[in-house]
Amino acid sequence: MGLAGGQEAMEQDDGGLHQALHGDPALLTQPIKTVQDKFQLLPAFLQVRGLVKQHIDSFNYFINHEIKKIVKANERVTCDTDPNFFLKYTAIYVGLPSVEEDMVTKDITPQQCRLRDITYAAPISVDIEYTRGKEIVVKKGSNGRGAISIGRIPLMLRCDRCVLYNKSEPQLAKLGECPLDPGGYFVVRGTEKVILIQEQLSKNRIIIDTDSHNDIVASVTSSTHERKSKTNIVMSKGKLYLKHNAFSDDVNMVAVLKAMGAEADQEVMQLAGNDETLSALLVPTIQDCKSHKVFTQAQALEFLGNKIRPSPMSFGKVRRKSKVDEARDILANVVVCHVPVVRYNFQQKVMYMAVMIRRMLLAVLDPSFIDDRDYYGNKRLELAGGLMSLLFEDLFKRLNTDLKRQADITLSKANRASQFDVAKCIRTDTITYGLENSLSSGNWTIKRFRMERKGVTQVCGMLSPADTSIWQPSILPSLHPTSLAGAEQVSGPRALHPSQWGMLCPADTPEGESCGLVKNLALMTHVTTDEEEALMTRCLFMLGVEPITAMAPCELHTRGAACVFLNGLLLGLHRRPHKLVQVIRDMRRRGYVGEFVHVHLQGDACYFSCDGGRVCRPLIICDKGVPRVKQEHITNLISGKWGFNDFLRHGLIEYLDVNEENVSLIALYEQHCTPSTTHLEIEPFTIMGVVSGLIPFPHHNQSPRNTYQCAMGKQAMGNIAYNQLNRMDTLLYLLCYPQRPLLTTKTIELINYDKLGAGQNATVAVMSYSGYDIEDAIVMNKASLDRGFGRCIVLKKYGATLRKYANRTTDRIVTPLPLPGQRTPPARFRLLDRDGLAAVGDYIMPGDVYINLQRPTNTARWTRCSRQKCVVDKVQLTCEWQTRCSRSAWWTRCSWRPMMTATTTSSSSSATHGGLSWAISSVAGMGRRAWSATLCARCVRALAPLCV
Amino acid sequence: MGGDKKRSKGLPEYLELQRTHVHCGPDVNKHTTTFTSANVFEPLCIDNSWNLEAFKSDLQIEVNHLDDEVMEFDLIGVDPAIANALRRILLAEVPTVAIEHVFMINNTSIMQDEVLSHRLGLVPLRVDPKLFDFKLAEEAPSEKNTVVFKLDVRCTRQGTRLINDKVTSNMLQWMPAGSQLPEETSCRFTQGQAHLVPSQQEQKGKKFMAPVHEDILLTKLRPGQCIQLEAHAVKGIGKTHAKWSPVATAWYKLLPEVVLLTDDVPESVAKTLLDAAPGLFVRKPDGKLAVTNARHHEKHLEKVRVLLDQEAIAQVVQYRKRKDHFIFTIESTGILPPDVLFEQALSILHDKAEQLANKL
pLDDT, tens digit (0-9, with 9 covering 90-100), for B98-116: 999 999 999 999 998 889 9
Tell me what the pLDDT averaged over chain B comes to.
Answer: 90
Q: What is the pLDDT of residues A59-69, one digit of tens each?
A: 999 999 889 98
Q: Which residues contact A259 (CB under 8 A, 6 or more apart)?
A: A297, A300, A301, A303, A304, A327, A328, A331
- Reported ipTM: the value is 0.88
- Find the CB nearest A931 among B105, B114, B185: B114
Q: Is the pLDDT of residue B315 over 70?
A: yes
Residues near A791 by beta carbon (within 8 Å), at least 6 away in sequence? A735, A736, A737, A785, A895, A896, A897, A898, B115, B118
Mutate to test the interface with B, among A732, A769, A786 (most CBs of B within 10 A): A786
Determine the residue among A936, A939, A941, A943 to mutate to test chain B binding: the one whose Cβ has the most chain B Cβ atoms within 10 Å: A936
- Phi first, then psi: give them for residue A648, nearest 5 degrees: -65, -45
Across the interface, of A736, A787, A941, the residue whose CB is closest to B242 is: A787
pLDDT-derived band at A516 (thresholds 50, 70, 90) equals: confident
CA within 13 Å, CB half, A902: 24
Res A145: pLDDT: 85
The answer to whether residue B124 scores a pLDDT higher than 80 is yes
Q: What is the pLDDT of residue A775?
A: 62
Write out B139-171 in H/E/C secondary structure: CCCCCCCCEEEEEEEECEEECCEEECCEEEHHH
Q: What is the mean pLDDT of residues A259-275?
A: 87
**Residue B102 contacts A, CB cutoff 8 Å:** yes
Residue A925, pLDDT above cutoff 70:
no
Give the Cα separation of A618 and A633 in Å (integer): 16
Would you call A414 helix, strand, or coil by DSSP? coil
Which residue in A has a C-alpha nearest to residue B233's C-alpha?
A933
Q: What is the pLDDT of residue A287?
A: 92
3-state secondary structure of B91: helix
Would you call A932 and B104 a contact, using CB atoms and an 8 Å cutoff?
no
Provide the pLDDT confidence category of residue A899 given band limits of 50, 70 and 90.
Answer: very low
Residues of B in contact with A736 (CB under 8 A): 115, 118
Instruction: Confirm or reject contact between A783 and chain B (CB < 8 A).
Output: yes
Name the nearest CA neighbour of A813 among A877, A874, A871. A877
**Contact (CB<8Å) B242/A841:** no
Whether pLDDT at A439 is above 90:
yes
Q: Cα(A124)–Cα(A396) distance, rounded to whole angstroms?
A: 11
B325 closest CA partner among B81, B77, B35:
B77
Contact A933 B242 (CB under 8 A): no
Residue B203 has pLDDT above 90, yes or no: no
Distance from CA of A828 to the nearest CA of B (A): 20
| Contact criterion met (CB < 8 Å) for A893 and B115 | no
How do the residues of chain B divide into helix, strand and coil, expressed in percent and rounded to 5?
30, 30, 40
| CB-based contact A499:A489 (threshold 8 Å) | no
Q: Percentage of residues in chain A with pLDDT exceeding 70?
A: 82
Q: Stretch B319-329: mean pLDDT, rounded?
A: 95
**Contact between B117 and A936 using a beta-carbon 8 Å cutoff:** yes
What are φ and ψ of residue A75, in 5° steps?
-75, -20
Nearest chain B residue (CA) to A932: B118
A871 contacts chain B (CB < 8 A): yes
* Cβ contact, residue pair A783, B120, below 8 Å: no
For the domain covering B96-244, report its CATH number. Answer: 2.170.120.12
Distance from the Cα of A822 to chain B's closest Cα (Å) equals 24
- B54-63 LR contacts (CB < 8 Å, sep 24+): B54/B2, B54/B5, B54/B6, B55/B2, B57/B2, B58/B1, B58/B2, B58/B5, B58/B324, B63/B339
* CA A414 – CA A408 distance, rounded (Å): 12
Give the residue from B261, B35, B333 showing the smallest Cα distance to A783: B333
Check residue B8 and give its pLDDT. 44
pLDDT at A14: 53
Query: Residue A782: its chain B contacts at CB < 8 A?
Result: 242
Kindly determine whether residue B185 and residue A937, on different chains, have CB atoms separated by under 8 Å: yes
For residues A482 and B210, what is the distance between their CA atoms, to the nearest angstrom?
A: 67
| pLDDT at A759 (0 to 100) | 81
Q: For residue B226, with 0-12 CB atoms within 10 Å meaning exposed, 13-18 middle and 19 or more buried, which class applies?
A: middle
Q: Which chain A residues contact residue B184 at CB under 8 A?
A: 937
Of B91, B117, B243, the CB nearest to A931: B117
Contact of A937 with chain B, judged by CB distance below 8 Å, is answered with yes
Closest CA to A357 of A570, A551, A203: A570
In angstroms, the separation between the Cα of residue A826 and the nearest Cα of chain B is 21
B120 touches A: beta carbon within 8 Å: yes
Question: Is the pLDDT assigned to residue A931 strictly greater than 60?
Answer: no
Q: How many residues does this entry show for chain A?
A: 948
Q: Is B273 on the interface with A (CB under 8 A)?
A: no
Contacts A–B by Cβ distance under 8 A: 82
Confidence label for A103 from pLDDT (cuts 50, 70 and 90): confident
CA B192 to chain CA centroid, Å, is: 34
pLDDT at A373 over 60: yes
Task: Using the Cα atoms of residue A96, residue A100, residue A103 and residue A106 in order, give the sign of their dihedral.
Answer: negative
Residues from chain A that touch B103, judged by Cβ atoms under 8 A, are 936-937
**Residues of chain A with C-beta less than 8 angstroms from the C-beta of B218:** none
Which residues of B fall within a CB distance of 8 Å from A791? Answer: 115, 118
C-beta atoms of A936 and B121 within 8 A = no
At B301 the pLDDT is: 93
Predicted pLDDT of residue A485: 39
**pLDDT for the residue A901:** 31
The answer for B 166-205 residues in CB contact with A (under 8 A) is: 181, 184-185
**Contact criterion met (CB < 8 Å) for B245 and A787:** no
- Per the model's pLDDT, the better-predicted residue between A152 and A142 turns out to be A152
Residues of A in contact with B114 (CB under 8 A): 793, 871, 894-895, 930-931, 934
Residue A266 makes CB contacts below 8 A (sequence gap 6+) with: none
Domain ranges of chain B: 13-41+52-91+250-327, 96-244
- State percent of chain A over pLDDT 90: 26
Average pLDDT over residues A179-199: 87
Report residue A556's pLDDT band, with 50, 70 and 90 as the boundaries. Answer: confident
Q: Which among B334, B69, B186 has a CA at the least distance from the CA of A937?
A: B186
Mean pLDDT of the region A775-782: 73
**Predicted confidence band of residue A896 (pLDDT cuts 50, 70, 90):** low
| Averaged pLDDT, A225-244 | 86
B106–A786: do the CB atoms touch at under 8 Å? Answer: no
CATH second-level architecture of B13-41+52-91+250-327?
Answer: 2-Layer Sandwich (3.30)
CA distance A177 to chain B (A): 17
Question: Does B320 lie at the interface with A, CB-CB under 8 angstroms?
Answer: no
Where is pLDDT greater, at A684 or A462?
A684
